Every structure is written in structure tokens, then in C-alpha cells.
Structure 1
Amino acid sequence: MKKSLLALAVTTGVLAQESNAAGFIDDSKASISSRTFYYENDQRNANGIDQRQTVTGLRFDFLSGFTQGTVGVGLDVQGLVGVNVGGGISPHNTATNNTISPTEGDGSPVSDWSRLGANGKIKVSKSELKAGNALAPNLPILVSNDSRLLPASYQGAIFTSREIDNLTFTAGNLSREIGRASSNWAGIAAGGRKGSDGFRFGGADWMINEDLTLQYYYAKLEDYYRQNFLGLVHVYQMTPAQSLKTDLRYFNSQSDGKNGTDSNYAFRNGYNDGNTGEINNNTWSAAFTYTLLGHALTLGHQRVSDSGGMAIVNNGGVVDGRGHSEGEGGASIYLYTDIMINSFTRAGENSTFGIYTFDFAMLGVPGLKSSFTYIKGSDIRGAGGVTTDRYGEWERDLRLDYTLQSGSLKGLSFSLRRANFRSELPTSAVQDQDQTRFYINYTYALW
């Protein structure tokens, strides 16, 4: 990996020197970001895990411009370091992944961890290709997770084209992933013990007009699943301060390759037809958001088909050659129900959700925002092959954010989040939890 990064940097540097490199330097940006994060997770059941941990990290980003000419060349570099300030899982548990930091052999958090990544990039007209190991896709079929201290990153290539007005085409091939709380690269998986040989995808966002956008994406995680996504977003602007947003999402996921026949590639998210881990799922959601001045109210419904849970990229089950966990867990999903603790994507689950947000700027306090989320799930099919029982679960999230609007520390932000999750599922399948998070973020632009 280090050799490939060095070769990438050298090649890009040579190309920059041979071309008119004014754009490469003049249009570049560099910044240092810091995040301090306190995490408290209390599993309420007997023998549940109690994790209280504070970590702090730094992130350096250099984003070059492009060399001038028909073909522009650039380079992005990212350096990340995390430090454990104190705490961890109590008692230390080697069988349980720490979701905040890598761990030692006895389950205790490492004192620090770091990684360096880079992407070479080429631009022709309105099309751009990025290749490297610091990719962070934010697409309906794959959302890079950044909910802890350091973000997840992917290795591979992503191509984006905007040659046609109002149409953005995106395609890519990713081969490796490093999780939010890991210092190890691993193959990309969907909950199984082994990573696949590649995650390939392509799709488009078509802005028909300023109010309506249609989306279609196709993804294939080799030996796990093939997935189609359809999306529609429409905003009806009733008055300058009043709007109604409609957001429709549909995922269809089917088994691919070894999934369903090889237990190393089994997908597990509660109940599964035949108990083989074979993927066969439809998930849809509909959300409607009414906005008036600083108020926003979202009401929606989501349905997961009975045959099994929704298929997603999640490396939490990947193990190394000794059968030890790689610590790659953590996933983000392009759904309104993917909140602090739960995602409400189990087999058969019907979820109704409500989200209320308020921007205190309308009361003369710019930078202060709050939100309240409540989701109720029902009709969940039983875990462990049980087909007759149905269960329910719910989660309540509170969030308060504040960003300094002026002064020498302008941009310094604070985020306090609290979640309570309760489930009727057996404790062997899922644990009731109370969780608190507190973030302090700051980004300083070097130039």
C-alpha cells in the first residue's frame, strides 16, 4: 500500500511539472480539522456492555487544483490520527468490537492509531476520475460512515461526469475498506466473515427542474448481493418561507455468487428465510417534510420485506486468518431511519417515523439548532429462524447543535446527542440501550 501511494504521488508530481501547474497550486486548499468525542453506551440488559470513552483526533486535508490544459491532473492527500484520552469497554471484552477505537489483544483500546491516504485525480471537461485509498462516497447505495472519531475510507476509483446539463453520472469500483474504528484494511463485506473482491456501482441523478430530481443506481457487492435503487425528491415551494418536500426511496437486493451457499458470505440481520444468510429483500420509504420559517416537521413510513433484512455494506463480521475480528464494523444507510442506535431494517419491519427540527436563528440565536426524532417499528420477524413470532422496537433521539458565528474561533461547533432504544426482541438478538454522544469539531483553513 505504501509503495502504491508513493508511486501515485510521484506520478502526479511529474505530470504536474510537465504541464502548466499553476492551477495545481493556485486552486489548492489545505486544512486541519480536530474532533474531540465523548461516547457513552449503556446496554440495559443483564450482562450488557457498558462503554464510556473519550477520544480526540486530527485530520489533515490537502486538495490540489488541476493542472491547466485539456487534461487536468491533481492530487488529494489525507492524514488522520486518533488518540484515546480515557475509558473503553468495561470490562475489557475481546469478543466485542470497540466501536470507537482499535483495541489491544485483551480488548482494551490502543493509545493511538493513524493512517495516511491519497487520491490521484484527472479531469477532462466536466468529467473527473479519482483513484486511491481516501475515497468517501456519499451515494444512495454506499454512504461512508463518519459517526465516530475518524471517517471510514475506501480504496478504488470513482468516476463522476456532468457533461449533460442537469444530469450527474457516477460509477466506480472499490476493493478495500478501512472502518471508522480500525487501523486495518479489509475486503468489503455485508456482515459476512469474508470480504468480497469488489463493490461495483453506477447510477445517475437527473434534475428534471429545480423542484424535481430522479435517481437510479445499481450496485454489485461480489458474492453478496446485487442492488437496484430508485429515488424521487420533489420540493413544492408554497411561499418563500414555506415548502413541502416529498422523498421516495426504493431498494431491491438479490443474492450474488457465494451468498446463500457459503456461510462465510452469509448476510445476518435478524430473521432470514431458510436461515442460510441468502439476500432477498425489498425496502421502501416515503417521507414528507413541511418547512415553515425555522420549523421543519418530517413524517414518514418505511417497509422491509419479510424474507430478510435490508442488505448493506457492513464489515463488522470480517475476520482475519486467525479468526479474529478486523474491527471494521460501522455502516451508514441512505434511509431516514438510520439514526443513532438502530436502523429499523430487520425482516418484515414496518416503521413509522417523525422528525422535528428547529433553527433558533429565527429567535435571534444563529448557529443554534435542535432536533427530536421518534421511530416505532413493528411486525419484525423473529430472530434465529423463528417464523411465527413478531416483535416491535422503538428509538427516541434528541440533538442540540451550536456553531460559533464570529470571533477568532468562528466555526467551532458543539453537538450533544442522546438516544434511548428499546426492543421486544430476545436479548440474544438485540440489547436495549441508552446512548450519549458529545462532539467538539473545528476546522482551520491553512490556505
Structure 2
Amino acid sequence: MYTHAFSFRLTGLGILAALLSQSAFADFIKDSSVTLTARNFYLDRDYKGETPYAAAREWAQGFIVKANSGFTDGPVGFGLDMTGLLGLKLDSSPDRTGTQLLAYNPVTREARDEYSELGLALKGKVSKTRVSLGTQFPALPVINASPARLLPQSFRGAYLISDDIDRLTVHAGRMDRVNLRDSTDYQPMAVASPNGRFRPGATSERFDFYGGDYRWTDSLTVRLIHAELQDIYRQDFFGVLHTLPFGAGKVRSDIRVFNSREDGQAKAGNVDNLNIGGMFSYLWGGHSVGIGYMRQSGDTAFPYIAGGEPVVLSDGTMSADFVNPRERTWALRYDYDFAASGIPGLTGMVRYLHGDNIDLPALGGSNLSESSKDLELAYVIQSGPAKGLAFRVREAFYRNQQGAASTFRSDNETRINVDYTLKVW
């Protein structure tokens, strides 16, 4: 695995040197950018009730360097993207690891003092079509490189994005490995299986996806995507984003439908899920008030790639995913941008989710419930020497009726982030 990655990196550097030895690389340099992000992350899960661990609590410092070139001149342009990641332990203990902030020894549960990695991606461009080969950070409903910890999740593979057709953005790709948020090496992909939802140990080395976004009007976008985690599951996604002026503000609709079933050899067992969700919000001034509903139909929970979160109605919740078999989830959300009150850079959010009708016989029954109360306050300094320095505090109070063996256990969770991004080039 390491030999293959090293060979790929040498190949990438060789191609880069060949490109720069030519005369047609003006845009390669001119359109290049280098940024350094420093991220300080504290995560504290204080578990309640019967639990094998009293807490998951760690503090870490991360650094993310992104160096993206432009493209060489000519009808076919070439370039190179590099991503460097470094995580440093500030505080941890074997009795409270498992936050996914830090890599740790699974036997001793001792967190590593540091972990790092380098990702490379060769890229090409023809007209408005771009192809990339190497380290990828997709952000799609069917495959999402989770940014929710100290360092982001990444994938290895090929990714094409095309804007050659007016109002249509086409996405297509194939991934063969995933690099988890607290890991430094690539590994085969698996379906997430909290609460023992699917057969353990099943992995795949091929995830294919294709589809697109069509901007029907400036206020209406329709999205269709098909995906397959080979021999585990296949999934079709349909989404609608729509805004409609109404009174002093506007109504925003976000509808997401996922239809999932097993694929090929069905290594993870039966997959049968229809996830239908919608969030409807009214925005005026600095206010946003939303109500949402999501329902799981079929015999199983919602499948998604292990190591991240599902991009569904509950996206952004901290202690659970709300996609258990048969589950029905209601959501209420309020956001406020304090710029409307003369404090630019300060934002706040309050959210409540309640799921019921959960079918988990091995963990307590067939009509279980769960709920989460989430609060968030964030501030970004707007001017002066510290311009761009961002502070974010999140609190979640999660409760469920599931047994002590549940992956998601009742807890009070705190996350504190201090982020700063410096543009080097």
C-alpha cells in the first residue's frame, strides 16, 4: 500500500517537472494558490446512564496546507493539487479516546502524539471539464469527505466535473480507497454499521458515482445521482433546492430522496431503504426558521460510507445520525445572523430533532425514540490583524431509549473550534 502511494507521488512530481520544463506554464503559476489552516479542536462527550466508557474527551491541534496549481496553457491544461495534513495531541487519555480527533492504538487505546499525511492529485482541463486523479475530497449527497473533525476524511480515485453544458454540472467518479479522519493510510471502503445495522467486516475497493445538478432557474436546482459501493449497496439520489419570495422574506425548500438496495454479492447483507426528507425554512432579515421531516421505509437502516456522516435531513447532528430502521424524524431549527443587529461575523443556531418508531429489537424494542437539542454560536473576526480568526462553540444534549450496547449512547456533548486560514500565495 505504502509502496503504491510513494510510486504515485514520485510519478506526480515527475509529470509536474516535465510540465514546468516547457514554456507554456504561465497560468500554472499565475492561478496557483497556497493556504494554511490552523484548527484547534476540543471534543467532549459525557455519556449518561449505563455505558462501558464514561466519556470520550480529547483536545488537539491540526494544520491543513492546500497548494493548488493553475493549469498549463493550451487546449488541454494540466496541473497538480497537494494537501498536507498534520494532527498534534494536546490532551488525551486511554480511558477517553475515540473522539476521532486523534489516531490511537486499538489495543492500548493510547493516542498518538502526532499523525500526518500528504495527498496529491494530478488534474487536467479541457474547456469547462476538469478531471482529477489522486486524493479527492468529494462533497456530494452519496459520497462526502467529512470535515467534521480535526482533519478531513479523503478518498483516492478519479473525479470528473463538467460545466460545458449551460446550467448543468456533471459529476462522475470512481474511488477505490478511503482515508479516515483519524488515520494516515488508505483502506478499503465499508458501509457504516452503527447499532449492528449491517453484516460486519464487509469491504469494497470500488465506489462509482455519476449524475448532475441542473439549475432549472436561478431559484430552482434539481439533482440526480446514482452510486454503487460494489457488492455492498447501490443508491439513487433525487434532490430539489428551491427558493420562493414570500412577504418580507423568502421560503427555502430542501428535499432529499435516497433509494438504496444491496448490490452484487451483498457482502453486508440485505439493504432495503427509502429515505425521504424535506426541510422548509422561512428567511427574513437575519432570521431563519425551519421545520423538517424525514422517514425511513423498508427493512433496513439507511446505508452510507463508513467514516463520515450521512448527508440527510439530520446532517450536522453531533451524537447520532437518526437513520435507524423505520425511524421517523421531526426537526425544528432557528438561525440568526447578528449582522442584522449590527454585529457582523456573529451567528447562532438552535435545533431540536426527535425520532420515533425505531426498530431495533436487539437494543431494546421496535418502537424506540431518540432526541437531540443542539445549540451553536460562532464568530469570525471581521477586520484588523486577526481578520478571519473563527470561533465556534457547539452543545448537544442527546437522549435515546436504546440499550447500553448501542453505538449511540445518551450524552451531553461539547465541541469548541478555533480556526484560522492564512493565504500564503
Query: TM-score, normalization: structure 2?
Result: 0.93
* Corresponding position: 1:409 with 2:386: yes
Q: CA deviation at 1:184?
A: 2.5
Instruction: Name the residue aligned to 2:7.
Output: 3
Instruction: Name the residue aligned to 1:418.
Output: 395
* Corresponding position: 1:37 with 2:41: yes
Instruction: Name the residue aligned to 2:421.
Output: 443
Instruction: Name the residue aligned to 1:307.
Output: 299
* Corresponding position: 1:108 with 2:110: yes
- Would you say the 8 A contact 2:278–2:313 is kept in 1? no
- Structure 2 counterpart of 1:332, from 309, 312, 324: 309
- Would you say the 8 A contact 1:243–1:292 is kept in 2? yes
Q: Aligned equivalents of 1:289 and 1:51: distance in 2?
A: 34
The alignment of Structure 1 onto Structure 2 pairs a total of residues equal to 410
- Would you say the 8 A contact 1:352–1:377 is kept in 2? yes
Q: Aligned equivalents of 1:352 and 1:91: distance in 2?
A: 32
Instruction: Name the residue aligned to 1:195.
Output: 203
The range that moved more, 103-112 or 118-127, is: 103-112
Q: Aligned equivalents of 2:126 and 2:93: distance in 1?
A: 48
Q: Aligned equivalents of 2:234 and 2:155: distance in 1?
A: 19
Instruction: Name the residue aligned to 1:252.
Output: 259
- Would you say the 8 A contact 2:61–2:89 is kept in 1? yes
SS in 2 for 1:143: coil
Q: CA deviation at 1:16?
A: 3.7
Query: TM-score, normalization: structure 1?
Result: 0.89
Unaligned runs of 5+ in 2: 193-199
- Would you say the 8 A contact 2:359–2:366 is kept in 1? yes
Q: CA deviation at 1:52?
A: 1.7
Aligned CA distance change for structure 1 residues 44 and 89 (closer, same or farther; 3 Å) = farther
Q: Aligned equivalents of 1:367 and 1:436: distance in 2?
A: 21
Q: CA deviation at 1:373?
A: 0.8
Q: CA deviation at 1:204?
A: 0.6
- Would you say the 8 A contact 2:134–2:158 is kept in 1? yes
* Corresponding position: 1:282 with 2:274: yes
The range that moved more, 422-431 or 123-132, is: 422-431
Aligned CA distance change for structure 1 residues 88 and 284 (closer, same or farther; 3 Å) = farther
Q: Aligned equivalents of 1:88 and 1:281: distance in 2?
A: 39
- Would you say the 8 A contact 2:277–2:295 is kept in 1? yes
Q: Aligned equivalents of 2:6 and 2:246: distance in 1?
A: 54
- Would you say the 8 A contact 1:306–1:381 is kept in 2? no
Instruction: Name the residue aligned to 2:68.
Output: 63
- Structure 1 counterpart of 2:289, from 297, 304, 308: 297
Aligned CA distance change for structure 1 residues 412 and 280 (closer, same or farther; 3 Å) = same
Aligned CA distance change for structure 1 residues 89 and 51 (closer, same or farther; 3 Å) = farther
* Corresponding position: 1:361 with 2:369: no
Q: Aligned equivalents of 2:104 and 2:229: distance in 1?
A: 28
Instruction: Name the residue aligned to 2:172.
Output: 171
Q: CA deviation at 1:333?
A: 1.7
- Would you say the 8 A contact 2:45–2:56 is kept in 1? yes
Could you report, residue by residue, the CA deviation over 1:162-181 in whole angstroms, capped at 9, with x for unpaired residues? 11110000000000011111
SS in 1 for 2:29: helix
Instruction: Name the residue aligned to 1:12.
Output: 16
- Would you say the 8 A contact 1:19–1:67 is kept in 2? no
Q: Which amino acid aligns with 2:6?
A: K
- Would you say the 8 A contact 1:51–1:88 is kept in 2? no
- Would you say the 8 A contact 2:84–2:119 is kept in 1? yes
Instruction: Name the residue aligned to 2:197.
Output: none
SS in 1 for 2:187: strand
Q: CA deviation at 1:258?
A: 2.6
SS in 2 for 1:99: coil
Could you report, residue by residue, the CA deviation over 1:256-285 in whole angstroms, capped at 9, with x for unpaired residues? 1232xxxxx32xxxxxxxxxx411110010
Q: CA deviation at 1:357?
A: 0.3
- Would you say the 8 A contact 2:376–2:395 is kept in 1? yes
- Would you say the 8 A contact 2:358–2:369 is kept in 1? yes
Q: CA deviation at 1:304?
A: 0.5
Q: Which amino acid aligns with 1:390?
A: N
Q: Which amino acid aligns with 1:355?
A: R
RMSD (Å), alpha carbons: 1.5
Q: Aligned equivalents of 2:111 and 2:36: distance in 1?
A: 25
Q: Which amino acid aligns with 1:14?
A: A
Q: CA deviation at 1:47?
A: 3.5
Instruction: Name the residue aligned to 1:127.
Output: 129
Q: CA deviation at 1:341?
A: 1.2
- Would you say the 8 A contact 2:94–2:108 is kept in 1? no
Instruction: Name the residue aligned to 1:233.
Output: 241
* Corresponding position: 1:152 with 2:153: yes
Instruction: Name the residue aligned to 1:399.
Output: 376
* Corresponding position: 1:427 with 2:419: no
- Would you say the 8 A contact 2:51–2:404 is kept in 1? no
- Would you say the 8 A contact 2:237–2:259 is kept in 1? yes
Q: Aligned equivalents of 1:102 and 1:436: distance in 2?
A: 20
Q: Aligned equivalents of 2:16 and 2:245: distance in 1?
A: 46
Q: CA deviation at 1:18?
A: 2.5
Q: Aligned equivalents of 1:306 and 1:124: distance in 2?
A: 43
- Structure 2 counterpart of 1:343, from 321, 324, 342: 321
Q: CA deviation at 1:13?
A: 2.7
SS in 2 for 1:393: strand
SS in 2 for 1:208: strand
The range that moved more, 433-442 or 176-185, is: 176-185
Q: Aligned equivalents of 2:25 and 2:201: distance in 1?
A: 46
SS in 2 for 1:188: coil
Instruction: Name the residue aligned to 2:59.
Output: 54
Taking the TM superposition and a 5 Å limit, the aligned residue runs for 1:194-233 are: 194-233=202-241
Q: Aligned equivalents of 1:374 and 1:86: distance in 2?
A: 31
Q: Aligned equivalents of 1:313 and 1:169: distance in 2?
A: 22
Aligned CA distance change for structure 1 residues 91 and 351 (closer, same or farther; 3 Å) = closer
SS in 2 for 1:149: coil
- Would you say the 8 A contact 1:229–1:251 is kept in 2? yes
Flag as ranges the 4+ runs of structure 1 deviating above 6 A.
none
Instruction: Name the residue aligned to 1:161.
Output: 162
Q: Aligned equivalents of 2:62 and 2:88: distance in 1?
A: 6
Q: CA deviation at 1:385?
A: 8.6
